[in-house]
Structures are given as structure tokens and as C-alpha cells.
């Protein structure tokens, strides 16, 4: 039985629950306990408000604040890195039923906004160079090597088009948007990629070469009505490399 | 591990530095000259981080010695240490030539939640033992001396029925002794707590193991006042205000005490995390700190004159 652990649990109940359980008022003045509750919740809330400005504006301050409060009460951050709290918030939003959110696009928009922080804080290949032996041109025997900041995402709403002047929630897309997000010149860059390129990038994460991934796509297209353009997929990879999302290719 | 304060402080003895925060990093790097002769970073804000923030840290590293001060060590935590985080922290400290590593004497992780704030511990022998074990583990894993920092507080955590709590300086001393570690003394936190809990800040400092003080923090605080007579009801350690006059005075008396003990003057860091003013305002505060250090090094130990409030932004928040 640890008193230190009891106090730690007491802190959590005081700070991160909807109905705070206070330490004994006779020992610890309640007004001082509330100081800590406000400090902690305001600090974490401010981090999330700053992280998701568009989602916050479209949802309205009250709705967004209620979701923050619910996150703090029901899940709470577990990361020791403050800049990673927004990522935990958006992961939690993705677990909520649709009727708990202000719009069908809300969780995606928050995710995209948190992603921008993640990408812009990420090291790049310039800061963390990949191991030597990279092949600079598209090499079908090679595996794609992406910049450390590159993230591939699928969204069902055009959340990447939301700006400060957007006044309505984004409508659902007829087909999902595949976004390759990465850091370029210390800024956040987004490129819409084809399903073929997305498959090649995912395959690279599994150690599959460009050629093998292309063969797989060609085989799938042969058995369907889909058109697969191998040359176009290679050109798209070259384009991603030119932009900085891909840094080269390595032989297995 | 033998902890010789002067050896650990080394070339940073009596140096004045500034917290390298995102809100002032660009301005500080752009300044041709600065009174800051070292910078302090929170590794948690830089681990696995690149981009502009990484570039700025790299530039700072080329220009100044970097001191690392952790935020989330959770020194009293029950949870196992985060092995990946410790490894990343160790690599960070090696890369920046750290002479020691410091973190706060508090909870930051409570019952599986990370609060990103500094929560008071119960001042008990159980907490002493818990912190000491974690500090020793950190020291072993990092291969560096570890310092604990006294925190500001607005309440005293409850203690078990029938168990007498140590008072704050007693608790800090016990931790330093039990962990055989160093102390980062935050004089603003001493002053804030002295007002909030009604004790004498000089008595507090006198009871600390001065030979273990490897760094000093100075910061500003916010004064909450009674509506009727304006007397302070609570001081909040915001790091968002100018350093208050009584904190400068306490620093001067503390440095005199350290010098009178024949010890090296620790490096002194100005913390400013919020409402960051233009750099010249902070430079004025740094220069005032330099003057205090210079006076402390003067020919007559212990004869440090109280400094006036001539520096930019200085204000008196009321005496202890």
C-alpha cells in the first residue's frame, strides 16, 4: 500500500475527471485544489485549441471545449511530449461514434491539423540523412525511401482544402483523397497521390520493391476493368522525389 | 559517484543564461550580442524533432553551451521508466555535451495520465525513497549527475494519518541526501512558496545542502491579490512576468551564502516561457543578473548590497 500512489491517484481524480474528487478540504484548501485543476486543464486545452484552429472555429468554441473536456476526463494524454498530445486527441476522436461529433468530417479535420504539427516538427532527410547507398533515380529493383517527415493519409472529406475563410464543413468526397504530406523548406506540403503510388509507398514500408509493387498492381488491373499505367506511376514517383517526399531508392 | 560541485559546474560557474524557448529562439539567434552565455532547453521539446525547431537548436548549440532541463521525468512515478524515452534522452544529452541533467521534484504522470504540469509530492520518507530510487536509475542510465529542482506549489499534498510531513527544505535536503544527487535551486519557487505557505525564504535556503547546488533558476510570477486591501493571496509561478524585486534580492543573498561557503557560483538561468517580451527587455534582466553575480564575486564575501529596482520590468511583489 503506497501513500505516494494514493496521492497520485488523488491528483488524477482531482484534475482529470468530470466530477473532481477532492483531497480532504480540511487538510488541503479546496480553492488551491481548483487552482491546479484549472492550470492543468487550461494548459492541455490550449495545446489542443492551438493545434486545431479550423476544426475549433467550425465547431464553435463551446462544442470544441466540451470535446476537450471529454478527452481529458475519459482518456487524458499519456505522451510525455507536449507536441504529441494533439495526435492522441485525434486518435481518441476517431473512436467516438458519429453522433458524438459536430460533423462527419470533424475527426478527419482535427487529424489533418494535428498531422501538420507532426510533419513540420519531424526531422527531415537533411537533418537525419538516410544510410548511404541511395539510388537517385526510380529503380524498379529498389525500394522507395521516403523523407522521415513523409506521411500517407486517406481522408473521406477534403479537409486539406479547409482554410481560415472556410465557413462550412467539407462535404464527403466521391472517392477518398490519398494525401502524401511532408515537410518542404520547413513548411507543410501536401500532394494528392494516385492509388497506385499510394500502394507503392505502403509496399515500400513492407520492404517490397517498386517493380514488385508495380507488377502486383498490373496483375490486379489485368483481372479487372481498371486501367493501370506503369509509366505514369513511375513518373508520379519521380515527381514526389522532386518535391522532397521521396529521397531515393535502395536495393533490398 | 563523487559530486564535486565546482567540477560539475566547470566553465559555467557564475554564468547567466536564458531558456531557449520557441517564442524567443529566432530573436535570440538573430541578436549579434547577448548577455546570455548559455541556453537551457527542455529535451522533451526536442526529442524526435527536426524542421525549423531542429535547425534553431542546432544553431544554438553552435553558439552557446546547452544545459538540459527535463519536464516529464516523473521522479516519484510508479510507472516503469519509458525505455525508449530514456535512450533518446541519453543520446540527446551526449550530443549536447551535457554536464548534468535536471528535472523537477514532483509528479508529472499520475495514474497513467501525463498532466504536463508539476504536482506537489507528499513530503514523506516514502516519497523520498521513491524519488531517490528514480534519480539513481536515471543517473545510471544517463551516465550523468542528476539534479532535482524544488517546485513552486499552491497546496501541500496530504500525508497519511499519523505521519508527520517533512517541511519543504527538509524534504528537499532528504531527497538530495538519499539520492546522492545535485540540486537545481529555483529561487523564484522558494519565494513563491514562502509567500503561499508563510515561511522565511532565507531560512529555507540556509537549510539546503549548498554544496549540491549546480544551477539556479530565476523567473517571474503572477500575484493574485485580495480585492479589499490588495495583499497577495497567492503567487502563481507563471514564467510569464518580469522577475520580481524580492526574487532578485533572494538570489543575491543566496549567492552570497554560496560564496561564503567557499563554493563555485552556479550558473543562473532566466526562465521566460509565456508573454515573452521583446528581447531587449530580457537582456536587461540578464544584465541585472550579471550585476548580482559580479557583486557576489566582490572582495567582501557576504556584503552583497540589496539591488534597486532600476532594471527594466522589475517590480516588487511584496516581501515575505
User: A116-133, pLDDT tens digit by residue?
Assistant: 999 999 999 999 888 878
The CB density around residue A2, as the number of other CB atoms within 10 Å, is 12
Query: Which one has a higher pLDDT value, B135 or B229?
Result: B135
- For the segment A207-216, the average pLDDT, to the nearest whole number, is 96
Mean pLDDT of chain B: 91
Q: Beta partners for B114? A: B109
Chain A CB contacts of B157 under 8 Å are 7, 23, 28
In a domain, B294, yes or no: yes
At B80 the pLDDT is 84
Who's near B225: CB < 8 A, 6+ residues apart?
Answer: B231, B232, B233
Q: Cα A147 vs. chain centroid, distance in angstroms?
A: 16
Please name the residues in contact with A41: beta carbons below 8 A apart, sequence gap of 6 or more.
A15, A16, A69, A72
Model confidence pLDDT, tens digit, residues A39-81: 999 999 999 999 999 999 999 999 999 999 999 999 999 999 9
Residue B124 has pLDDT above 50, yes or no: yes
Q: How far apart are CA A130 and CA A148, in angstroms?
A: 9
Does the structure show a pLDDT above 70 at B60? yes
**pLDDT-derived band of residue B82, with 50, 70 and 90 as boundaries?**
confident
A185 band by pLDDT with thresholds 50, 70 and 90:
very high
| Cα–Cα dist A230/A210, whole Å | 11
Max mean pLDDT range (A126-140, A172-186, A213-227): A172-186
What does the pLDDT read at residue B312?
Answer: 37
**Mean pLDDT of the region A141-156:** 97
Nearest CA in chain A to B44: A81
Evaluate whether residue B308 is within a structural domain: no
Mutation target vs B (from A5, A6, A7, A39; most B CBs, 10 A cutoff): A7
Which among B162, B161, B165, B172 has a CA at the least distance from the CA of B106? Answer: B172
Residue of B nearest to A119 (CA): B51
Q: B292 in a domain, yes or no?
A: yes
> Does the beta-carbon distance from B158 to A24 stay under 8 Å?
yes
- The pLDDT value given to residue B319: 36
Residue from the list B77, B85, B116 with its beta carbon closest to the beta carbon of A43: B116
CATH number, position B202: 3.20.20.150
Q: CB B48: neighbour CB atoms within 10 A?
A: 18
Work out the minimum CA distance from A243 to partner chain B, whole angstroms: 16
Domain of B247, in residue numbers: 13-303
Q: Is residue B3 part of a domain?
A: no
Of A8, A16, A82, the CB nearest to B44: A82
H helices present in B64-123, as ranges: 83-95
Q: Chain A window 7-46: which residues touch B at a Cβ cutoff of 8 Å?
A: 7-12, 15-16, 23-24, 27-29, 32-33, 35-36, 39-40, 43-44
CA distance A68 to A49: 9
* B-interface mutation test, from A1, A2, A3, most B Cβ less than 10 A away: A3
Q: Which of B111, B129, B152 to mutate to test the interface with A (most CBs of A within 10 A)?
A: B111
Q: Which stretch of A20-24, B95-99, B223-227 has the lowest confidence by average pLDDT? A: B223-227
Distance (Å, rounded) from C-alpha A177 to C-alpha A164?
Answer: 21
DSSP H helices in A75-229? 85-93, 106-121, 195-205, 210-222
Cell 535536503 sits on residue: B173
Residue of B nearest to A12 (CA): B110
Q: For an interface test with A, which of B56, B116, B120 has the most A Cβ atoms less than 10 Å from its Cβ?
A: B116
- Asked whether residue B310 is domain-assigned, the answer is no
| CA of A46 vs chain B CAs: smallest distance (Å) | 12
| B126 to chain A: closest CA residue | A4
Interchain contact, A149 vs B45, CB within 8 Å: no
Burial class (CB in 10 A: 0-12, 13-18, 19+), B62: exposed
Calculate mean pLDDT across residues B44-66: 95
Cell readout for A5 is 500512489
Per-residue pLDDT reduced to its tens digit, B91-110: 999 999 999 999 999 999 99
Q: Which residues of B touch A125 (CB under 8 A)?
A: none
- CB contact under 8 Å between B119 and A85, yes or no, is no
Binary contact (B126, A2; C-beta < 8 A):
yes
> What mean pLDDT value characterizes chain A?
95
Contact between B50 and A127 using a beta-carbon 8 Å cutoff: yes
Contact A171, A162 (CB under 8 A): no
Tens of pLDDT, residues B154-188? 999 999 988 889 999 999 999 999 999 999 999 99
* Nearest-neighbour CA in chain A from B36: distance (Å): 26
- pLDDT, residue A223, reads 79
Q: Which residue in B51, B76, B154 is closest to A186 by CB distance?
A: B51
Residues of A in contact with B82 (CB under 8 A): 80
Binary contact (A12, B110; C-beta < 8 A): yes
B115 to A35: CB separation less than 8 angstroms, yes or no: no
> What residues in B contact A127, CB-CB < 8 Å?
50-51, 54-55, 58
Question: For B311, phi and psi rounded to 5 degrees?
Answer: -75, 155
Q: What is the pLDDT of residue B299?
A: 63
pLDDT at A173: 98
Is residue B317 included in any domain, yes or no?
Answer: no
CA distance B291 to chain A (A): 34
Query: What pLDDT, on the 0 to 100 scale, is given for residue A171?
Result: 98
How many separate domains does chain B show? Answer: 1
What Cα–Cα distance (Å) separates residue A113 from each residue in A87, A118, A119, B129? 9, 9, 10, 43
Q: Which pLDDT does position B1 carry in this prediction? A: 58
Question: B314: pLDDT confidence band, cut at 50, 70 and 90?
Answer: very low
Residue B183 lies in a domain: yes
Helix (H) or strand (E) segment spanning residue B147: strand B146-149
Crossing angle of helices B125-142/B168-179, nearest 10°? 40
> How do residues A75-129 score in pLDDT, each as one tens digit?
999 999 999 999 999 999 999 999 999 999 999 999 999 999 999 999 999 998 8
User: How far apart, in whole angstroms, are the C-alpha atoms of residue A195 and residue A197?
Assistant: 6
- pTM for the predicted model, two decimal places: 0.92
Helices (H), chain B: 5-9, 22-30, 51-63, 83-95, 125-142, 168-179, 187-197, 201-206, 245-260, 279-296
The answer to whether the Cβ–Cβ distance between A11 and B112 falls below 8 Å is no
Residues 131-150 of A with CB under 8 A from B: 148-149
Q: Of A64-73, A137-146, A212-221, B72-81, which has the strongest mean pLDDT?
A: A64-73
Q: Domain for residue B206, yes or no?
A: yes
Classify residue B116 by its DSSP letter: E
Beta bridge pairs of residue A190: A181
Amino acid at each position: 500500500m503506497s501513500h505516494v500512489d494514493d496521492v497520485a491517484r488523488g491528483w488524477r481524480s482531482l484534475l482529470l475527471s468530470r466530477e473532481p474528487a477532492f483531497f480532504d478540504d480540511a487538510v488541503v484548501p479546496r480553492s488551491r485544489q481548483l487552482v491546479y485543476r484549472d492550470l492543468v486543464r487550461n494548459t492541455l486545452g490550449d495545446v489542443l485549441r492551438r493545434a486545431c484552429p479550423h476544426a475549433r472555429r467550425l465547431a464553435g468554441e463551446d462544442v470544441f471545449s466540451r470535446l476537450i473536456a471529454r478527452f481529458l476526463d475519459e482518456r487524458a494524454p499519456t505522451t510525455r511530449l507536449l507536441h504529441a498530445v494533439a495526435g492522441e486527441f485525434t486518435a481518441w476522436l476517431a473512436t467516438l461514434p458519429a453522433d458524438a461529433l459536430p460533423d462527419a468530417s470533424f475527426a478527419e479535420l482535427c487529424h489533418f491539423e494535428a498531422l501538420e504539427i507532426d510533419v513540420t516538427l519531424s526531422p527531415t532527410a537533411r537533418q537525419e540523412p538516410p544510410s548511404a547507398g541511395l539510388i537517385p533515380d526510380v529503380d524498379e529493383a529498389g525500394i522507395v525511401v521516403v523523407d522521415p517527415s513523409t506521411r500517407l493519409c486517406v481522408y473521406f472529406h477534403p479537409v486539406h482544402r479547409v482554410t481560415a475563410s472556410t465557413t462550412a464543413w467539407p462535404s464527403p468526397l466521391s472517392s477518398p483523397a490519398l494525401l502524401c504530406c511532408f515537410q518542404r523548406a520547413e513548411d507543410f506540403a501536401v500532394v494528392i497521390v494516385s492509388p497506385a503510388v499510394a500502394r507503392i509507398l505502403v509496399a515500400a514500408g513492407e520492404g517490397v520493391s517498386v517493380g514488385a509493387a508495380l507488377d502486383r498492381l498490373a496483375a490486379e488491373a489485368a483481372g479487372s476493368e481498371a486501367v493501370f499505367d506503369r509509366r505514369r506511376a513511375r513518373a508520379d514517383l519521380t515527381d514526389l522525389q522532386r518535391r522532397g517526399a521521396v529521397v531515393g531508392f535502395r536495393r533490398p | 559517484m563523487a559530486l564535486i560541485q565546482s567540477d560539475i559546474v566547470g566553465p559555467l560557474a557564475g554564468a547567466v543564461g536564458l531558456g531557449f524557448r520557441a517564442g524567443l529562439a529566432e530573436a535570440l539567434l538573430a541578436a549579434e550580442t547577448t548577455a546570455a552565455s548559455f541556453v537551457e532547453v527542455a529535451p522533451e521539446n526536442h526529442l524526435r524533432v527536426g524542421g525549423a525547431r531542429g535547425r534553431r537548436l542546432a544553431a544554438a548549440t553552435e553558439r552557446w553551451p546547452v544545459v538540459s532541463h527535463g519536464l516529464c521525468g516523473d521522479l516519484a512515478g510508479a510507472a516503469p521508466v519509458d525505455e525508449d524515452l530514456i535512450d533518446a534522452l541519453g543520446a540527446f544529452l551526449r550530443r549536447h555535451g551535457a554536464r548534468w541533467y535536471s528535472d523537477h521534484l514532483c509528479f508529472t504522470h499520475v495514474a497513467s495520465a501525463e498532466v504536463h504540469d508539476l504536482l506537489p509530492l507528499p513530503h514523506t520518507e516514502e516519497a523520498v525513497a521513491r524519488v531517490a530510487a528514480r534519480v539513481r536509475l536515471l543517473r545510471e542510465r544517463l551516465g550523468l549527475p542528476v539534479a532535482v529542482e524544488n517546485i513552486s506549489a499552491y497546496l501541500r499534498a496530504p500525508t497519511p494519518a499519523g505521519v508527520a510531513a517533512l517541511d519543504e527544505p527538509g524534504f528537499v535536503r532528504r531527497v538530495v541526501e538519499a539520492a546522492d544527487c545535485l540540486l537545481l535551486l529555483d529561487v523564484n519557487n522558494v519565494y513563491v512558496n514562502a509567500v503561499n505557505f508563510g515561511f522565511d525564504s532565507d531560512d529555507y535556503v540556509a537549510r539546503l545542502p549548498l554544496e549540491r547546488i549546480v544551477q539556479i533558476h530565476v523567473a517571474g510570477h503572477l500575484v493574485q491579490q485580495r480585492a479589499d486591501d490588495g495583499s497577495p493571496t497567492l503567487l502563481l509561478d507563471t514564467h510569464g512576468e518580469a522577475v520580481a524585486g524580492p526574487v532578485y534580492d533572494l538570489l543575491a543573498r543566496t549567492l552570497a551564502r554560496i560564496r561564503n561557503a567557499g563554493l563555485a557560483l552556479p550558473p543562473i538561468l532566466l526562465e521566460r516561457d509565456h508573454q515573452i517580451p521583446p528581447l531587449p527587455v530580457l537582456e536587461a534582466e540578464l544584465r541585472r543578473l550579471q550585476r548580482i553575480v559580479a557583486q557576489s564575486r566582490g572582495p567582501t564575501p557576504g556584503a552583497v548590497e540589496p539591488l534597486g529596482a532600476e532594471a527594466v520590468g522589475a517590480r516588487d511583489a511584496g516581501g515575505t
